[in-house]
Amino acid sequence: MVVIGLTGNLGTGKTTVSQVLARLGAAVINADELGHEFLRPDSPAYADIVSSFGTSILRENGEVDRHKLAQLVFSSPERLTRLNQIMHPRMYRVVEEKIAEYRLKGVKVVVLEAALLIEAGWTPLVDKVWVTVSPQETIISRLKKARGLYEEQILARLSQQMPSEEKAKHADAVIDTDCSLEELEAKVIGLWQGLLAEAT
């Protein structure tokens, strides 16, 4: 089994690439979705999150309001570090278990989609690192349309992430997503075929 760590900064097209890989037959583990599970009241991280950031981040039903939490942590490196300290070790263990389950099932390729794969020290979980990149103006345009964020909100979040050039230094493959969907699919299919050729 080959595990691909798919990473890249906000708005660089990771999810689009992982969707193509899923259609090609890969099993995808999405770290963002896992993270959302840890914000629920029944999660083992919930008490730590509330004690660290206060009840103002909660909705009426007791669930963590992700937008309020994001506003808090992306305006302060210290708060972001604290949230990562709570979340990342717990998420690492869950990802490890999921990869082990896929291995037992005989899955050939697993994709771990994680924006902070490198920063969080998750590279030991993967065999290959693929990094998505895109120019800043393209990222801003995408996130304004897709998430309704303002430019200053986008820049604040990007400033908390490792620069794309730095991430690319850790990459086995760099995928420039500043192209049409058809061109991007062709790039991903080419990488996929190379991966299968290596595995045989």
The pLDDT, as a whole number, for residue 146 is 80
pLDDT digits (tens, 9 = 90+) for 10-49: 999 999 999 999 999 999 999 989 988 888 899 889 999 9
- Given this model, what pLDDT does residue 176 score? 97
- DSSP state for residue 115 in the 8-state scheme: T
> Does the residue 60 lie in any domain?
no
109 within domain boundaries: yes
Q: pLDDT for 144-199, tens place per residue?
A: 888 888 888 888 888 878 999 999 999 999 999 999 999 999 999 999 999 888 86
**Is residue 110 assigned to a domain?**
yes
How many structural domains is the chain composed of? 1
Percentage of residues of the chain with pLDDT beyond 90: 70
pLDDT at 199: 66
* Residues in contact with 86: Cβ distance below 8 Å, sequence separation at least 6, in sequence order: 45, 48, 49, 52
Q: Which residue has the higher pLDDT, 92 or 146?
A: 92
Residue 53 lies in a domain: no
76 occurs within a structural domain: no
Q: What is the pLDDT of residue 98?
A: 96
**Enclosing domain of residue 114:** 2-38+90-199
Which pLDDT score is estimated for 145? Answer: 84
**CB atoms closer than 10 angstroms to residue 21:** 24
We report the CATH number of the domain holding residue 108 as 3.40.50.300
- Using the Cα atoms of residue 13, residue 16, residue 22 and residue 28 in order, give the sign of their dihedral: positive
163 lies in a domain?
yes
- Assess if residue 161 is contained within a domain: yes
Inside any domain, residue 180: yes
Q: In the predicted model, what is the mean pLDDT of the chain? A: 92
